[in-house]
Chain A
Amino acid sequence: MASLIRGFKNAFRSGIRTVAIVIILGVSIGLSLTMLVARQAVDNKISAVKSSIGNTVSIQPAGFNSYSAINNSLTVSQLADLIKIPNVTAVNETLTERLTTIGSTDLSFGLQSTNSSNATTSLSSPVKLNLKRHLFKAGGGLFFSGGGSSSIPTNFSLPITIIGTSNSQNINGQSLTLEQGNYFSPSSNSDLAIISSNMASKNNLKVGSTFQSYNVNFKVTGIYLSANNGALGNAAIVPLSVEQSLSGQSGDVTAAEIFVNSIDNLSSVTSAIQKELGSNVNVTNAIEDANTEVSPLNSVKTISLYSVIGAIIAGGIIILLTMIIVARERRKEIGIFKAIGASNLKIVSQFAAESSTLTLLGAVVGILIVILAGNPMTKFLVSNSTTAGTVGNGRFSRLGSFGGGAGGRFVSGGRGVGGVLRSNITNVHAVIGWDVLLYGILAVIIISVIGSVGIALVISKVRPAEIMRTD
């Protein structure tokens, strides 16, 4: 114990040197802890993003362009065996159509209430999207993706999405939360529909009301919240078999959503489905999207990991060299200690206590640094990394169109995963908790041990006889 106390006191034997070593070690430990905090924050963000994705696999025909799958639809029979793939729990199939008629006032587009007086549509004479594609490209997408232009042409008619589904509770991976009414049965072949609250409000529809499409009267059984359903904000959901029959696409589907029992099995199930359906079908899962989007964060993780290791090694080398210099300076003292009966262990423990004291003080400075710089440094790293990654890969513009607005979502026809991720991906907040302090202590121990190894090497080589003889 006395040798430890002596080592502690020796740490302050030279004031200027102590301050210098503590500052250098503090910066080193602070840098390693800051990187550790950044890594934790990024790791948490990646986990949060992935866990928010859900465990589904999406299937679309290759080259599928939203609602215009005319010649390359999937068929129910193609998808029939997918349920047999291990770990698949459910298969939801959808057939999506876009219906539009210029000039009618039967059912109005739900969003953009201030402008939608110029943008009405009717379900009574459906016109397929591919026939109006030029209009769509020139109008819908651009009007809304940029935040809402007010220059919608007079009498412009926005399309309405009709989705036939085998599961009215979940469309293309999005759960529908009903505001009023009920879901229809998966096996229903009645002319029933659930519509968005936007659509209901715009067209004065309630549960039990009817509207006309394909020259058939559909009865509204439920109304779902539009706000949380992005692309489904202007859709009417009907039974799959009804949509197949009325649109003349019996047995066809435009997309399917496969539910997997665990997120861990997504990749294997995706591969199995791809193998089952062949190369003419796009099989994707959200994890792949998420992985693509979080790849800049993975870069931050990698950089921070190397920085943690580098900073700890640097700290170790600093204390190692310092203590070697100190021990060499005190060779005579070590020789005397040996001459009067001190064991190597006693002397090493004294010097180890000295190096530990210096390292501990360095850790205090390091923790202050991480408290001050942890969060700004994390944001800086994430900001730089995601900017470089998205611009470099050309994803930035794509994400912009995905997440830009209603028009953007129409173009994608999907779930806008990229947009959702993009908006959150840089929102990383570093938290400095007790675990950081524990890591700091661990860093101190590692650095002290490295320092002690140097001391032990010097001390073991000191021969008292040489000291006495050369003095």
Chain B
Amino acid sequence: MLKVKSLSKEYNSGEHILKAANNISFNVDDGEFVSLVGKSGSGKSTLLLLLGALDKPTSGSIVVDGEDLAKKSDRELVRYRCLKLGYVFQSFYLVPNLTALENAMLPMEFAGLATNERKERAQYILEQVGISGDKINRRPGKLSGGEQQRVAIARALANKPKLILADEPTGNLDSETGKKIFNLLKELSRSENTTIIVATHDNNIAAKTDRKLTIVDGQLKQDK
């Protein structure tokens, strides 16, 4: 599913060069649930941004589903993010003036699905992640943190992506809610055969994933 080879990302701060990702290589199979573990600033988020084609590597390659991201045009990368990728953020990043349903429908709108179809599917996914009834018509401000993250997960699943990247999805949640959200992701990975890569600094969460990749100062130190 995912092949990362000699991936590096450097930031030039003027005085010195910061290597946020330093010669990282790993593969991930279909349906695998992988955790990226590391301290804050270790390079987890940078790696996720590179995998999500939201940033460009300084060197190295990322091949997703047989396609090299480096060879794709900007337009093709937009399609990649829209159709093959789901992104879950620590701060949820829901659009505040749209309802839960409208937020979940967004990626399908960008994919060009008809209104009825995307509404039907959004309702179904929201129900799958535990958002139903009048909550689907509530705006994010009227939902709890856990509920907002569920909506964000529903949005990430909207276009049935093959790869979901989750950056500290439980970081802004209390431990009980965080556990529920993590279990939800794990369940989805199994039921939908979706590859999920979760960045976390919580070793307890990482221990429950199929595989743990430890990042230290931009380098992959451990893969087990």
| A-to-B contact residues, CB < 8 Å | 2-3, 6, 9-10, 13, 332-333, 336-343, 346, 463-465, 468-469, 471
Contact = CB atoms under 8 A, between A and B. Distances in A.
Contacts of B106: 337, 340, 342
B222 interface: no
Interface in B143-178: 155-156, 159, 167
Contacts of B167: 468
Contacts of B33: none
B95 A336 contact: yes
A465 B81 CA distance: 13
Interface in B66-88: 75, 78-79, 81-83, 85, 87
Contacts of B81: 338-341
Nearest to B155: A340
B208 to A, nearest CB: 25
B109 to A, nearest CB: 5
Contacts of A10: 97
B186 to A, nearest CB: 22
**For chain B, what secondary structure do more than half of its interface residues adopt (helix, strand, loop), or is it mixed?**
helix
B45 A342 contact: no
Given A2-B115, A332-B93, A337-B95, 11 more contacts: A2-B109, A3-B109, A333-B95, A336-B89, A339-B52, A339-B87, A340-B155, A340-B156, A468-B45, A468-B54, A469-B45
B107 interface: yes
A464 B54 contact: yes
Contacts of B63: none
B72 to A, nearest CB: 14
Interface of B: 45-46, 49, 52, 54-55, 75, 78-79, 81-83, 85, 87, 89, 91, 93, 95, 97-98, 105-107, 109-111, 115, 155-156, 159, 167
A340 B155 CA distance: 9
A341 B82 contact: yes
25 contacts: A9-B97, A336-B93, A337-B95, A337-B106, A339-B81, A339-B87, A340-B110, A340-B156, A341-B78, A341-B79, A341-B81, A341-B83, A341-B85, A341-B107, A341-B110, A341-B111, A341-B159, A342-B78, A343-B110, A463-B54, A463-B55, A464-B54, A468-B89, A469-B49, A471-B91
B60 to A, nearest CB: 16
Contacts of A2: 105, 109, 115
B75 A343 contact: yes
A338 B95 CA distance: 12
A469 B46 CA distance: 8
Contacts of B110: 337, 340-343, 346
The 4 closest A-B pairs by CB, nearest first: A341-B82, A465-B55, A341-B81, A341-B110
Contact of A340 (B46, B55, B97, B107): B107
Contacts of A464: 49, 54
Nearest to B165: A339
Contact of A13 (B75, B93, B97): B97
Given A464-B54, A468-B54, A469-B45, A340 B109 contact: no
A331 B55 CA distance: 16
B97 A465 contact: no
Contacts of B78: 338, 341-343
A331 to B, nearest CB: 12
Contacts of A342: 78, 82, 106, 110
A336 B152 CA distance: 11
B49 A468 contact: yes
Contacts of A339: 52, 54, 81, 87, 93
Contacts of B97: 9-10, 13
